[in-house]
Amino acid sequence: MFGTSGIRVPVGSSDENAAAAERLQFTTAQGPCLDAHRSARTVLATESTMAEQWPQFHAALVSRTPFRAVIAVPLVPPLDGMGTVDLYLHNSSDIARVLMADVLEVISAVTRTLAVDGLFGQAAGPLAWLVGPATTGRAAVPVAMGMLTVGLDVTSTDALALLRAHAYATDRIVDDLASDIVSRRIPTQHLRLDRNT
């Protein structure tokens, strides 16, 4: 997950389950990735840790994915503070078998690739990670936030909170809800009703 504001952009994922886990963290606004980003420290999260510290994320994760543990690691310089990499595991006991030296080698490789592949002006065309499905799936969120800001006369922070609250209340993902708002399948006023109930 990559970003320095409330809107985090997923750069990519190994499979659909990993993509779903990232979307669940963004939707619930809680989870090991967000804590690793805020603290600039690696977070090792077993299932019991997640249940205790991030109950909404935990409940969504175990009901929608096969994952029961997460290792969240911040990117290293020159991209420190800009994002994290999540490693999703099927069992909490798998954390003890992961070699952190290998994890840090992967994080360094990811950081180098992102840094060289355009963040500092080196790319010769569209950045692959900016036009991939993980990133484009999040693209409707800032547009929907803008529509809510204008339509409901709220701040952008409140607009994102409204999206998350409605997604939670309707058991949806923020990305999908935002897409429905942008395409006008769900009117912005519909979220005002949720705010007042």
Domain segments of the chain as ranges: 16-130, 140-196
Residue 191, pLDDT score: 86
Residue 110, pLDDT score: 85
pLDDT at 113 over 70: yes
Calculate the alpha carbon distances from 104 to 72, 85, 95 in Å: 11, 10, 14
State pTM to two decimals. Answer: 0.83
pLDDT at 132 over 90: no
Spatial strand order in the sheet of 43-45: 43-45, 69-74, 84-89
* Residues 138 and 182 sit within 8 Å (Cβ to Cβ): no
Residue 3, pLDDT score: 47
Q: Which residue has the higher pLDDT, 3 or 142?
A: 142
Most confident of 72-81, 108-117, 151-160: 151-160
β 69-74/43-45 pair status = antiparallel
pLDDT-derived band at 112 (thresholds 50, 70, 90) equals confident
- Cα distance between residue 132 and residue 19, in whole Å: 12
* Residues 146 and 160 sit within 8 Å (Cβ to Cβ): no
What's the CATH number for 16-130? 3.30.450
Average of per-residue pLDDT values in the chain: 86
